[in-house]
Structure 1
Amino acid sequence: MQVGDKIVFDKYEWRVLDIQNNAALVITEEIIEQRSYHDAYKDITWADCSLRTYLNGEFYDKFTAADKSRINPVINKNLDNQWYGSKGGADTRDYIFLLSLEEVCTYFGDSLSKLQNRGKNQRYWFERKDENNSKRIARLHGKEWDWWWWLRSPGRVNVKAVYIFGTDGNIGIQGNNILKGNLSDGRCTGGIRPALWLKL
């Protein structure tokens, strides 16, 4: 197994992002479903959001015992938003998680320098002309179109979370609402691309 490979684990296809200590960091190749980041419109961080509860509970429990034994728990650092200073919250112990802003800038081409050196005219989008944008585009499972997907990092304020824009892969560093959206039921249903560390 090498970085960049696609593998099948459980019923999903995963992309290998990193290999360390006999384990591979993998993320689903497609957006597997749509969910709100949290179930209430209030300040929240990854540590306490309903999406984390779902991924490490109901979603994780769908794996067989044999597959669960291959998923390594990890301590995730949840940094503050580098542009706006909104709180990233406590470190978390996760089996299943979303990538952070820093991780997506590392594993989908090296864009960390652009993150750390904000352009004077940059407000909402991280970097429209980032050559790595196209690497972040993901298709919604079972559909013929691309969709936007959540990261676990906080947006400009803590009722928002950072996301990847669907059509061109831009990073929405100001964030999207964790719950309130434009749908009739009020949800803001971003795409979910779970990530995990898989024992080799």
Structure 2
Amino acid sequence: MRGIYKRAALALAAGALVVGLAGCAAESAPVSDPSKGDNTQLAYTGAESADEQSFDTVTFGSYQGQDITWLALAEENGKTLLISESVLDAVPYDNTAEPYQWSVQSPRPQKDIEWATSSIRTWLNGEFLKAAFSADEQGAIAATTLTDAKNNVSHTAATAADPSVHAAEETTDQVFLLSLAEAKRYFANNAARVAHPTDYAVKQGVYVGVASNDEQPDGAAAWWLRSNGYYAGYASVVTDDGYVHGDGYRMAGELHDGFDDHGSELKSTLGGNIGVRPAIWVETSALS
């Protein structure tokens, strides 16, 4: 399905970073684009904002019988960066990662898995790509070079700022997850990052968080970032309230709030409870 642009305004809360299209233009280069990425995820800084943030939205492709609506995050060199407006599915970051255990004696995972070797990358660029887009639509999605960083558990403050120490393997992908830096760069604050799941994602067991101490579901879902977390075996996550959780959760899944009435998170044994918001760079001409 060819894209149809609309304008969506998000009411935002204070306490995060100014980004959006205007903010992106002030940066030297986006963290991922069709030609180059960088390793600034641990060093990104920006001003906080309580302003309303607006995105163009576009319909492009479909998944599980439902058209996909995307937010347009940036435009550069005839291509537009899109992220799905909703959480589309619930998939572990890596299905070979060590599953969580809730005993006090449970050790942290010893095996680190980078984006380059993760099962979610394979799924996004294989099963999801074929299911969500026609052949023509796939042809309009650019191959994007991505760079990122490994977990930084062993790094000092000095080495954490040195990309040569913690650079992860470079990849080229059509479909990807935002990095930690991109989640901060393109969204003005936590409220802008809040995303709700599709009915299909709910059926797949996506975690639906709680809005407050009244234990009522808020309807929003947590979603993966491609950046490693602080420890080996952890990946960064945007939580259901829009917070960028850089320490991350175990790649096999760890979200659990203890409330049985939010029980979808209890149904997954391998972290399918954390959701997926795919990102793509698309030829802008294919969206009009």
TM-score for the superposition, normalised by structure 1: 0.81
Task: State which of 159, 163, 174 in structure 1 corresponds to 2:233.
Answer: 159
Letter of the 2:275 counterpart: G
Q: Note the alpha carbon deviations across 1:22-66, whole angstroms, 9 max, x for none.
A: 000000000000010001123100000000000011111222111
Asked if the contact 2:151–2:232 (Cα under 8 Å) also holds between the matched residues in 1, the reply is: no
Distance 1:28 1:16, change over 3 A: same
3-state SS in 1 of match to 2:219: coil
Q: Note the alpha carbon deviations across 1:49-104, whole angstroms, 9 max, x for none.
A: 00000001111122211101110001011124578749562011000000000111
Residues of 2 paired with 1:81 and 1:148: CA distance? 20
Q: Note the alpha carbon deviations across 1:116-145, whole angstroms, 9 max, x for none.
A: xxxxxxxxxxxxxxxx11111100112681
3-state SS in 1 of match to 2:220: coil
Distance 1:15 1:83, change over 3 A: farther
Q: CA RMSD in A?
A: 2.1
Q: Equivalences for 1:26-41 in 2 at 5 Å?
A: 26-41=82-97
Asked if the contact 1:96–1:194 (Cα under 8 Å) also holds between the matched residues in 2, the reply is: yes
Distance 1:159 1:88, change over 3 A: farther
Task: State which of 123, 138, 142 in structure 2 corresponds to 1:72.
Answer: 142
Give unpaired runs (5+ residues) of structure 1. 110-131
Show the counterpart of 2:248.
175
Greater alpha carbon shift after TM alignment, 92-101 vs 172-181: 172-181
Asked if the contact 2:141–2:280 (Cα under 8 Å) also holds between the matched residues in 1, the reply is: yes
3-state SS in 2 of match to 1:10: strand
Is 1:48 matched with 2:104?
A: no
Greater alpha carbon shift after TM alignment, 150-159 vs 180-189: 180-189
Greater alpha carbon shift after TM alignment, 69-78 vs 173-182: 173-182
Show the counterpart of 2:210.
none
Residues of 2 paired with 1:83 and 1:133: CA distance? 25
Largest Rg, 1 or 2: 2
Give unpaired runs (5+ residues) of structure 2. 8-20, 22-54, 63-67, 98-110, 161-165, 203-217, 257-265
Q: CA deviation at 1:180?
A: 4.4
TM-score for the superposition, normalised by structure 2: 0.57
Residues of 2 paired with 1:177 and 1:82: CA distance? 15
Letter of the 2:179 counterpart: S
Aligned residue pairs, count:
177
Distance 1:84 1:23, change over 3 A: farther
Show the counterpart of 1:106.
185
Is 1:138 matched with 2:195?
A: yes
Q: CA deviation at 1:106?
A: 0.4
Letter of the 2:243 counterpart: N
Asked if the contact 1:46–1:88 (Cα under 8 Å) also holds between the matched residues in 2, the reply is: no
Task: State which of 266, 269, 275 in structure 2 corresponds to 1:186.
Answer: 269
Percent identity of the aligned residues? 32
Distance 1:145 1:84, change over 3 A: farther
Distance 1:180 1:81, change over 3 A: closer
